[in-house]
Amino acid sequence: MAVKPVALILGYGPRIGVATARNFANNGYDVVVTSRKGTGTRTAEGYLSLKVDLTHPDSIPALYDAIKAEFNTSPSAVIYNAAALTNPPSQDSMFSIRVEDVTSDLNVNTVSPYVAAQQAVAGWETLPAGIKKTFIYTGNVLNITVIPMALFTNLGMGKAASAYWLGVADGTYSTQGYRFFYADERTETGKNVGNDIDGSAHASFFEQLANHEGNVPWHATFVKGKGYVKF
């Protein structure tokens, strides 16, 4: 019996996470969802639910070990959908944010996805050549746009830093068939969608990226109903 491909979703939220898990399951993947409330058992939908605290990057290797033990294979598609920011005590001062909170948020936004990608690559080296290997990071416009509000300091730092290493990873690994994407939903005019993100649009685009369809670059800006659009 052939082993089914595995999709790992780090950050199982009610919009993007739920829609993405459903879409990958419908496309023949075994799905693993993670959160701080992971149970170590199957959800009603049949997903494997695992517990992880992404403020602690050193907890991630054990997550991959658990997946390998359960499915006897490594995840070929990894979607990093977690994010963190800290509301500054003084709304006008980014420097009122405690260093401890800067570190914690950077762990979630940058260090943990880096470790997750590192573990993914190690697992991909054990998978057959014909299987597509993909790492997708849920981004936004903050990697290229500075919003002068203290609230977005930690989130913006994390997105910008992760966009850089994702670009390096894609540029150095794509020749091996490993793809890395910073997925950024936009409006039709190219503006930031803000809180109006569409879970189903993300799920559909992530499916396209996981299938390596089209000549989509690592900085993967997309529009609902259209897929990749260069801005």
Tell me the pLDDT tens digit for each residue of 132-169.
999 999 999 999 999 999 999 999 999 999 999 999 99
Helix axis angle, 199-210 relative to 16-26, nearest 10°? 40
Greatest Cα pair distance in the chain: 60
| pLDDT score recorded for residue 3 | 80
How many other CB atoms are found less than 10 A from the CB of residue 218?
18
- Spatial separation of the C-alpha atoms in residues 109 and 75, rounded to whole Å: 21
| Banded model confidence at residue 88, pLDDT cuts 50, 70, 90 | very high
| pLDDT score recorded for residue 1 | 53
Q: Stretch 178-193: mean pLDDT, rounded?
A: 97
| Banded model confidence at residue 57, pLDDT cuts 50, 70, 90 | very high
Contact 120, 75 (CB under 8 A): yes
Fill in the amino acid letter for 126.
T
| pLDDT score recorded for residue 69 | 97
Q: Is the pLDDT of residue 173 over 70?
A: yes
Find where tokens 């992880």 sit: 52
Q: Stretch 179-192: mean pLDDT, rounded?
A: 97
Q: Stretch 105-109: mean pLDDT, rounded?
A: 98
76-108: buried (b, 16+ CB within 10 Å) or exposed (e) per residue?
bbbbbbbbbbbebeeeeebeebeeebbebbbbb
Query: What letter does residue 110 receive in the DSSP assignment?
Result: I
| pLDDT score recorded for residue 113 | 98
Q: Is the pLDDT of residue 2 over 70?
A: no
